Amino acid sequence: MATPRLLVPFSSSRQISRTTLARTAAASRALLSPVSRPCPAPPQPRRPLLQARAMASSSSSSSDPARPAISTPPAGKYEFLAVVPDKPGSQPKRLEVRAKHFEGLQPFIDSGFYKAGGAALKDRPEGTDATKWDFYGSTMIMVAESVDECREILRKDIYSKSGVWDVDNAQIWPVKFAFRYP
């Protein structure tokens, strides 16, 4: 096996001593040789994020307005992440009732039930024309007391009533966010 050539930065204004060259070559060989010692432990989580989480109050105030503190749901309520698949062949109906779906969301957004949401796509969209997107379903963050409450609200949406969403196969999990940025 051929020994790899060592490339050493060279400056014409100073000479490299044989000792420095030998040390550099030894260090390079050590890096290129197979690892015979255990890998180091993974790095510990960054403290600033953990400290920011611990110091975050239940309000939205923060010393850095660009990074607001994490708000917490009211007592007895929790945040849930939901992924609701569309039923096969429902894209034409989805596009037909889309405007009514958005209208129906507004009261829930205003009340704080929905924190975020949008389409889940099967592939990266090309452009902003929804008629050309390949929909998987929808995803949203909801604030509720239970998974059952989330499912009940989903069933009342026009996407469910018109046969777009497959609420029976929706995946809904309680979540705790460590950070959120706009």
What are 32-78's pLDDT values in tens digits? 555 555 555 655 554 444 443 444 434 444 455 555 556 788 888 99
| Long-range Cβ contacts of 167-170 (<8 Å, 24+ apart) | 167/84, 169/85, 170/82, 170/83, 170/84, 170/85
- Return the pLDDT at 19: 62
* % pLDDT > 70, the chain: 61
Domain segments of the chain as ranges: 78-175
pLDDT digits (tens, 9 = 90+) for 16-34: 566 665 666 665 555 555 5
* Structure-block tokens of residue 83: 């992924």
Dihedral sign for Cα atoms in the order 93, 97, 102, 106 = negative
For the domain covering 78-175, report its CATH number.
3.30.70.1060
Using alpha carbons only, what angle is made at residue 76 by residues 75 and 82, rounded to the nearest 5 degrees? 115
Which comes out higher in pLDDT, residue 181 or 182?
A: 181
User: What is the identity of the amino acid at 130?
Assistant: A
